[in-house]
Chains A and B, each alone.
Chain A
């Protein structure tokens, strides 16, 4: 008798946690403030704990509230296709009206997203796929331009010559591939500049730190680092600190998370290229709603970026990423 009760309790417990979670997501009923769209959307981030996607979610939640839609937020523990796929499948099973997703691989996510597209409108935010034909819109920063600006900024900081390297994430991510490409365009062929190439941190700050300390061991006269995303920039800065070379090496990082802003204020990082994730989130919700309303959508939207330095930090507070909404 006790055993049956225990099994029942277990099932009830799982169910209760699930039900409680449901309420927290604001999915309680269809009563909306303004308009009557009542759309159900889900935002699938590339990775859960990244302030870039959290800020994107904040912007998207605001936009959703304005039109009376509900938006859920999901994401894998690591920026990896094998981990994101089951989540995409589960979200697809709910058949939400629209799915906003940042695919973690330009190829591997094609099949699951195509399947999800059968019942939901797809908006690709931040990253994209090799074949984005199933999406109603792709929204991302101009990452090539951002990479180029990062390259020019870094060259300015190191006085136009010296050894530079890129700490990138991993190949197959459209956004960071483009940033690396833009950076290379800016630094290749410049006299006096030795480009050491790209190293991959696998979106792990610890690996990024290890890459930087190893490179410093091999090239003690390294002058500049471009870190192509949030985790890479965090790790690169801590690697520099570990090696004690903060004064000698300049870092330009992509993304403006709280840790990176701290590094900026401490003088370890010299410039941050901030994207506009909240804007991307907002536009994503708007495009999805437009598609659901039967209106025309913009197949590609590019958002801007800003260069943040210690000097202009005070004015650019709005451009910083948030750890929570």
Chain B
């Protein structure tokens, strides 16, 4: 068997894709007329899109053996300041929306860079730093809004990007999420920046001695995570026409679960964006499939948790046999 096929067959991404395929087949067999329809697929993809954007950023962070718990709060904060900025301007045309986007990205990037600085310069572990910024970002968002969701959003943003479709078929949210995944996938797998990311995750000290500017690189990585959380906040604003302050408390754990399901190691050095894409879809398909097959609401949570553990266990099995020789 050629080396490439061998790598593909034993690759972690392959197995997770098979698991996802298995779930899709199972649900399609159980409820063919409901589950495997274009509309359902479209809705599933739309609902997963925002989490995917966040998870792509999280992939970079976890590959460097770090963690970013602040993503949900940064998402909310970015949405809040973006909405405030757009509402503070006259009119609601494309120019205003563009300003809103820039504000959201800048806010996200700001928090990300702050995370990176504290982790690299102040030498505080990423778990603690991002736990702190989780509280700070959400708290500031609550202060700015007085705890009350902002529900005025330029209508063109909602009808255009939030629920609009390209070519009448593919939702813009899905296209944007796919675009983000492709761009950052290429960045991770085909550029020096990506290679350095893996190197730092594998062995930070060795990377530093090999001449990689580790601190600057890590700041960039956390900056990417923050930037993508900011983008996700803007997209969430477009989708729901409200800042949904209370609805993102577990986004960080969901993103981590998606990234880990996708085969990225929490210890760093291993991971793919494609894996993350698949990892985002497994809980989404489970939720969607369980509602469609009529599983009682509470069982859903049990099942999603169980599948998460099972899927990662399978991956660990594969890893152990692979390294045995």
| Interface of A toward B, CB cutoff 8 Å | 2-3, 6-8, 10-15, 17-22, 24-25, 27, 48, 72-75, 77-78, 80-83, 85-87, 89-95, 105, 107-108, 111, 115, 170-172, 199-200, 202-204
Contacts and interface: CB of A to CB of B under 8 A. Distances in A.
A171 B148 contact: yes
Interface stretch (B39-47, B108-116, B126-134): B39-47
A21 B25 contact: no
B240 A48 contact: no
A172 B314 contact: no
A15 B29 contact: yes
B202 interface: no
A78 B19 contact: no
Question: 8 nearest interchain CB pairs?
Answer: A21-B295, A11-B22, A90-B291, A82-B247, A89-B43, A93-B40, A80-B247, A18-B293
B241 interface: yes
Given A21-B296, A95-B34, A170-B149, A14 B307 contact: yes
Contacts of B247: 78, 80-83
Nearest to B42: A89
A99 to B, nearest CB: 12
Contacts of A11: 19, 22-23, 25-26
B244 interface: yes
Contact of A74 (B43, B148, B242, B291): B291
Given A19-B30, A90-B291, A108-B242, A7 B43 contact: no
B269 interface: no
Given A86-B47, A90-B288, A93-B40, A18 B26 contact: yes
Contacts, number: 166
B164 to A, nearest CB: 11
Contacts of A86: 43, 47, 284, 287-288
Nearest to A79: B246
B294 to A, nearest CB: 5
Given A77-B301, A94-B31, A95-B34, A7 B240 contact: no
Contacts of A13: 306-307, 310
Given A2-B317, A74-B291, A107-B151, 5 more contacts: A10-B19, A17-B303, A22-B30, A87-B291, A92-B39
Contact of A93 (B35, B297, B299, B306): B35
Nearest to A26: B294
Given A21-B295, A21-B299, A93-B35, A202 B290 contact: no
Interface string B251-292: 000000000000000000000000000000000101111111
Contact of A89 (B18, B31, B245, B288): B288
A93 B148 contact: no
15 contacts: A7-B15, A11-B26, A18-B289, A20-B295, A22-B30, A22-B293, A81-B244, A82-B244, A85-B240, A90-B43, A94-B291, A95-B33, A171-B148, A171-B151, A199-B147
B148 A170 contact: yes
Nearest to B31: A94
A80 B284 CA distance: 17
A27 B242 contact: no
A83 B43 CA distance: 13
A48 B148 CA distance: 22
A290 to B, nearest CB: 24
B97 interface: no
Contacts of B314: 3, 6-7, 10
A107 B241 contact: yes
Contacts of B6: none
Contacts of A92: 39, 43
Nearest to A25: B294
B26 A14 contact: yes
Q: Is the interface of B mostly helix, strand, loop or mixed?
A: helix
A18 B18 CA distance: 19
A24 B296 contact: yes
A82 B48 CA distance: 11
Contacts of A2: 317
A52 to B, nearest CB: 15
Contact of B296 (A25, A81, A93, A199): A25
A20 B302 CA distance: 14
B15 A105 contact: no
A14 B160 CA distance: 37
A91 B26 contact: no
B147 A94 contact: no
B294 A21 contact: yes
Contacts of A17: 290, 295, 299, 303
A18 B290 contact: yes
A234 B94 CA distance: 45
A308 to B, nearest CB: 29
B40 A10 contact: no
A204 B142 CA distance: 15
B74 to A, nearest CB: 16
A3 B318 contact: yes
Contact of A94 (B15, B22, B292, B295): B292
A91 B22 contact: no
Nearest to B299: A21
User: Which of A6, A12, A27 is most buried by chain B, counting CB atoms within 10 A of its CB?
Assistant: A6
A167 to B, nearest CB: 12
B296 A18 contact: no
B87 to A, nearest CB: 15
B177 to A, nearest CB: 15
Contact of B242 (A19, A81, A200): A81
Contacts of B236: 82
Contacts of B292: 90-91, 93-94
B231 to A, nearest CB: 16
A27 B294 contact: yes
B27 interface: yes
A172 B145 CA distance: 14
